[in-house]
Amino acid sequence: MSNPDFPPPPRVLIVDDDYTARLLEREALEQSGFIVDEARDGGTALDAVQHQPPDLMLLDVDMPGIDGFEVCRQIRRRWAACDIPIIMVTGMDDLASINLAYEVGANDFMAKPINWPILGHRARYVLRAAESVRTQKDLEARQAAIVRAIPDMLFTLRGDGTILDAKAGAGRRDAIQPRLFIGRRVPDVLPEELATEFADNLHRAIQDGMLQALVFTLPADGQDRHYEARLARSSQDQAVAVVRDITREKQNEEKIRRLAYYDPLTGMPNRQHFVERLEQELQRTARERRKLALLFLDLDGFKRINDTLGHGTGDLVLREVALRLKEKLRVSDIVSRPGAEDPPPPLHLARLGGDEFVIALPSLDDARAAIQIAQRVRSALARPFQVEDAEVSIGASIGIAMYPEDGTDAATLLKHADTAMYHAKERGRNNWQMYSQALTDQAVERLKLENDIRKGLERGEFVLHYQPIVDTTDSRITGVEALLRWRHPERGLLEPSAFILAAEESGLIVPLGRWVLEAACAQAGAWQRAGIAPARIAVNLSGRQLRMPDFSRGVMDLVTRHGLDPGRLVLELTEGLVMDGDPALAAELHWLGAAGVHFALDDFGIGYSSIAHLKRLPIGSLKIDRSFVHGLFDNPNDAGITTAILAMARHLGLEVVAEGVETAAERDFLREAGCRTMQGFLFAPPLPAAEMEALLRDALREPA
Ligand code: C2E
Ligand code: MG
Ligand code: MG
């Protein structure tokens, strides 16, 4: 074996029929370190080459028999110029023979007489040139082999994004056909956003010479395919992109993820998956300053099924339980937020293991939704389960922990929901229990209140009282405000503070408010026909009512049906509504306003109403909140604000009603400040309809 550090000396074959020429050539070449073989004529030379190909040939043109040109031609049939380089030695330096020498495949030529001192150098030079061509060819062949062998697609790109060359991956039929890309530009073959990202990477690869990699997804044949592209600079203004289809890998990853994240029996998320989701939801809920409910479910009597009917049956039951839970617990029909714009919060359901399931409800305002879910779970499992030919009944004990009250991290909440679940079991199974007793009580109470309101509406327990609004210059009753009361069967007559919030939050305010409007219109219509109607009747509105479709039309229907002059109706709005800025809402109000209905802004001063907002809506009057009236003499601020409100209202041409006037001193102060219309206990409290009616009749009898 030859040592690469000391390669063997090159062999040269001298072919010449002239003995002296051969001798002199040998002499010159041996001095330059060549090993020299000789041949006297063309035939011998061809035999020698056949026998042992030399590293270089010095070939005389003029020989008897086969001449040098023919010898060269024959050698080139088998060997390339870089494999056996040939220097032709011509007797004449005419152009024709030089041309012919190159045509038949000579690497170089020399004319006789030979310049002996440079022969060795010339020979070495030709040898080196041939060697470098050979190396280049090897390199290219190797590269071509690599390109043929790798399964990736290969693209050559110019810095401006033009695709100069493209090759398909070896042995693959990719969804992409690279050769169709040749000559096009990246933005023409990739979607816009991806093209930009790709161009950035290309730019960086060429600028910095650093390998760039990006992963992307493209739709193909109605399926998403995933690719990984690596970009490497190949010259000043070019880069090579190796693009690999990694769809298979991604699919495998997904399979592994499913195995790691889902319970194989029920297809539900498993514990790890659930805990990760829960952590995320806790962060979100914290940001929103809302609440999260965690329900921990344990099946009652499952162990017995497993023990008596076997695990196979147990699995069937678990699967059926999972199925029913998934079906029954679709969040949209549970956590309804009538009138609210934000989408319903998500619901996360998982199997922790054994017969334990968990449910997380993020973005809640209170615990009610959790209790509704608990009740749903019970009804989902109420139907007996059919196993083989037997029917078995299964219940669930449910523990509920609330964020942030019962814990702020997933582990604590899970632990406390579990504890609550044990309390539920102790209490006789198939029921639910909250972690904190106070919350349990509160939730139960709230739920009962909502139920009672619903029943109260059905049973006609609600009534309206009426409070006069008085013009203090002549003590005339210019209007009345309808105020809601509830004749509760157990708790007696209730004021709105006892139930209006629950009605708002549950959405019950919508049917309740509809009833109020109807009753007020009916009453006002009756008074109108009796000829004792006050100039105006005011009704309080909740924002939710206004956001119901066709609200304005409904109001006009009522007014018409009860024969009430729409100019007598005042709708009292709250500041939140006015600030809302919803153009659809404004349009509704303007429509009603055009029909003659008045609008008053209730409880003015405690919110943040800006004059700009006021002007967008057809509001005709302000009601100064009773807290200001109440503070007139104790709080200099209140007096200042009240005076300012009055001045502003005068400026804008708005009427003002002062609410909650209880003393003559308050009345006098307000009159001094320019307010003449007032409402309050000083004149009359809210009165049942009959008493109000008597007052109205009296007023007619003895005009002020
Ligand atoms: P509001 O619209 O500001 O009604 C005036 C409240 O002030 C009434 O309370 C009335 O009884 C009380 N009030 C009147 N004069 C005086 C006084 O001199 N001193 C004091 N301290 N209070 C006085 P009420 O009837 O308890 O109603 C409370 C709130 O409930 C109402 O405030 C209104 O916002 C709401 N509300 C009442 N009825 C309805 C209704 O039918 N629908 C809606 N959505 N809300 C209603
Ligand atoms: Mg009011
Ligand atoms: Mg008010």
Categorize the per-residue pLDDT at 606 as very low, low, confident or very high, splitting at 50, 70 and 90. Answer: low
Mean pLDDT for all residues in the chain: 89
The verdict on the CB of residue 395 being under 6 Å from ligand 1 is no
Q: Which of 16, 110, 105, 108 is nearest to 63 (CA)?
A: 16
**Vertex 579: Cα angle to 577 and 583 (nearest 5):** 80
What pLDDT does 2 receive? 53
Q: Does residue 542 have a pLDDT over 50?
A: yes
pLDDT digits (tens, 9 = 90+) for 42-63: 999 999 999 999 999 999 998 9
DSSP-derived secondary structure letter, 185: B
Residue 210 has pLDDT above 80, yes or no: yes
The Å distance, Cα 455 to ligand 1 centre, comes to 23
Look at residue 610 in the predicted model and tell me its pLDDT. Answer: 63
- What domains does the chain contain, in order, with CATH numbers? 11-145 (3.40.50.2300), 150-250 (3.30.450.20), 262-435 (3.30.70.270), 461-701 (3.20.20.450)
- pLDDT single digits (tens) 430-473: 788 999 877 677 777 888 899 999 999 999 999 999 999 999 99
Region 680-692: what's the mean pLDDT?
A: 97
Confidence of residue 391 (pLDDT cuts 50, 70, 90): confident
Closest ligand to Cα 571: 2
For the Cβ of 558 lying below 6 angstroms from any atom of ligand 1, the answer is no
CA dist 323 and 30 (Å) reads: 94
Cis peptide before 549 (omega within 30 of 0): no
Contact 351, 320 (CB under 8 A): no
**Site to substitute for ligand 1 among 467, 483, 604, 670, most atoms within 8 A of C-beta:** 483
pLDDT higher than 60, residue 90: yes
Task: Give the whole-angstrom CA distance, residue 274 versus residue 346.
Answer: 13
- Residue 394 pLDDT level (bands cut at 50, 70, 90): confident
For residue 476, is pLDDT > 90?
yes
State how far the Cα of 181 lies from the Cα of 197, in Å rounded to an integer.
18
Ligand 1, atom 37, residue with closest C-alpha: 483
Neighbouring C-beta atoms of residue 388, cutoff 10 Å: 11
pLDDT mean over 556-581: 89
**For residue 6, how far is its CA from the centre of ligand 1 (angstroms)?**
110
pLDDT (0 to 100) of residue 704: 47
Nearest to 188, CA basis, from 168, 209, 162: 162
Q: What angle do CA 639, 645, 648 make, to 5 degrees?
A: 140
Lowest average pLDDT, out of 337-341, 528-532, 575-579, goes to: 337-341
Regarding the beta carbon of 602 and ligand 1, being less than 6 Å apart is answered yes
CA dihedral 49→52→56→60, nearest 10 degrees, is -30
**Kind and range of the H or E run holding 59:** strand 56-60
- What's the 532 CA to ligand 3 centre distance in angstroms? 25
Residue 483 CB–ligand 1 contact under 6 Å: yes
What is the rounded CA–CA span in Å between residue 393 and residue 395?
7
The full DSSP string for 242-294 is: EEEE-HHHHHHHHHHHHHHHB-TTT--B-HHHHHHHHHHHHHHHHHTT-EEEE
CB atoms within 10 A of CB 428: 10
Q: Note whether 319 and 265 are within 8 A (CB).
A: yes
Mean pLDDT of 680-701: 94
Share above pLDDT 70 across residues of the chain, in percent, rounded to a whole number: 95
Q: What confidence tens digit (pLDDT) does each residue in 232-275 have?
A: 999 999 999 999 989 999 999 888 888 888 998 999 999 999 99
What 3-state DSSP class applies to 55? coil
Which atom from ligand 1 is nearest to the alpha carbon of 686?
Answer: 11
| Three-state secondary structure call for residue 700 | helix
189 in helix, strand or coil? helix
User: Mind listing the pLDDT tens digit for each residue in 647-673?
Assistant: 888 888 899 999 999 999 999 999 999
Instruction: With cut-offs at 50, 70 and 90, classify the pLDDT of residue 332.
Output: low
Ramachandran category for residue 563: left, alpha or beta (phi over 0 → left; psi -120 to 50 → alpha): left
Q: What is the pLDDT of residue 590?
A: 94
**pLDDT of 173 over the 90 cut:** no
Confidence of residue 609 (pLDDT cuts 50, 70, 90): low
| 3-class secondary-structure state, position 676 | coil
Q: Are strands 163-167 and 11-15 parallel, antiparallel or unpaired?
A: unpaired
In ligand 1, the atom with minimum distance to the C-alpha of 467 is 14
pLDDT band at 339 (very low <50, low <70, confident <90, very high): very low
Q: Closest Cα to atom 8, ligand 1: which residue? A: 483
> Strand, coil or helix: what is 355?
coil
Residues in the chain: 704
Closest listed ligand to the CA of 572:
2
Three-state DSSP at 539 gives strand
**Average pLDDT score over residue span 178-203:** 92
**Per the structure block, which two tokens stand in for 261?**
């994240």
Q: What is the three-state SS of 545-594?
A: HHCCCCHHHHHHHHHHHCCCCHHHEEEEECHHHHHHCCHHHHHHHHHHHH
Please, are residues 377 and 329 in contact by the beta-carbon 8 Å criterion? yes
What is the average pLDDT across 518-538?
95
Q: What is the mean pLDDT of residues 202-219?
A: 93
What does the alpha-carbon distance between residue 587 and residue 553 come to, in Å, rounded to a whole number?
12
Sheet hosting strand 86-90, strand order edge to edge: 35-39, 11-15, 56-60, 86-90, 108-111
- Position 506 scores a pLDDT of 83
Instruction: Give the mean model confidence (pLDDT) for residues 132-136.
Output: 94
Whether the link from the prior residue into 404 is cis, omega within 30° of 0, is: yes
Residue 521 CB: number of other CB atoms within 10 A? 25
Q: Whose CA is nearest to atom 10 of ligand 1?
A: 686
Q: To test ligand 1's pocket by mutation, which of 540, 629, 667, 679 has the most ligand atoms within 8 angstroms of CB? A: 540
DSSP one-letter string for 132-163:
HHHHHHHHHHHHHHHHHH-SSEEEEEETTSBE
Cβ(500) – ligand 1 distance below 6 Å = yes
- Ligand with the closest atom to the CA of 604: 3
| Atom from ligand 1 closest to the CA of residue 464 | 41
Cβ-proximal residues to 231 (8 Å cutoff; 6+ apart), any chain: 157, 201, 202, 205, 211, 212, 213, 239, 240, 241
Centroid of chain to Cα 335: 22
Ligand 2 mean position to 243 CA, how many Å? 70
pLDDT of residue 342: 59
Residue type present at position 454: R
pLDDT over 70 at 493, yes or no = yes
Which residue has its alpha carbon closest to ligand 1 atom 3?
603
The confidence score (pLDDT) of residue 548 equals 85
- Name the token pair of 189: 């073959």
Q: Give the residue, by CA position, lying nearest to ligand 1 atom 43.
A: 540
**Rg for the chain, CA atoms, rounded:** 49
Cis? peptide before 151, omega within 30° of 0: no
In this model, does residue 227 exceed pLDDT 90? yes
User: Is residue 128 scored above 70 in pLDDT?
Assistant: yes
- Cβ partners under 8 Å of residue 213, min gap 6: 201, 228, 229, 230, 231
State whether the beta carbon of 467 lies less than 6 angstroms from ligand 1. yes
Best CA proximity match to 102, nearest among 87, 121, 115 = 87
Once rounded to an integer, what is the mean pLDDT over residues 2-17?
A: 85
**pLDDT at 340 exceeding the cut of 80:** no
630 lines ligand 1 (CB under 6 A): no
Nearest Cα to Cα of residue 159 among 241, 243, 239, 242: 239
136: left (phi over 0), alpha (psi -120 to 50) or beta: alpha
For a pocket test of ligand 1, which of 509, 515, 570, 626 has the largest count of ligand atoms closer than 8 A to its C-beta?
626
Q: CB of 601 within 8 A of CB of 573?
A: yes
**Strand-pair partners of 569:** 537
Nearest ligand by distance to the CA of 541? 1
pLDDT-derived band at 612 (thresholds 50, 70, 90) equals low
Tell me if 495 CB under 6 Å of ligand 1: yes
Cα–Cα distance measured from residue 486 to residue 465, given in angstroms and rounded to the nearest whole number:
10
Judge contact between 370 and 364, C-beta under 8 A.
yes
- Residue 642: other Cβ atoms inside 10 A: 24
Instruction: Report whether residue 575 contacts ligand 1, using a CB cutoff of 6 Å.
Output: no
Residue identified by tokens 């073989």 is 37
Is residue 508 a contact partner of residue 502, using CB atoms and an 8 Å limit?
yes
Q: Encoding tokens for residue 527?
A: 């008074």
Q: 658 C-alpha to center of ligand 1: Å?
A: 13
Q: Given the CA of residue 625, which atom of ligand 1 is nearest to it?
A: 3
Q: Which value, to the nearest 10 degrees, does the dihedral of the CA atoms of residues 34, 36, 40, 41 take?
A: -60
Greater pLDDT, 389 or 293 = 293
The verdict on the CB of residue 516 being under 6 Å from ligand 1 is yes
Task: Say yes or no: CB of residue 603 within 6 Å of ligand 1.
Answer: yes
Q: Is the pLDDT of residue 338 over 70?
A: no
Best CA proximity match to 474, nearest among 628, 671, 695, 626: 671
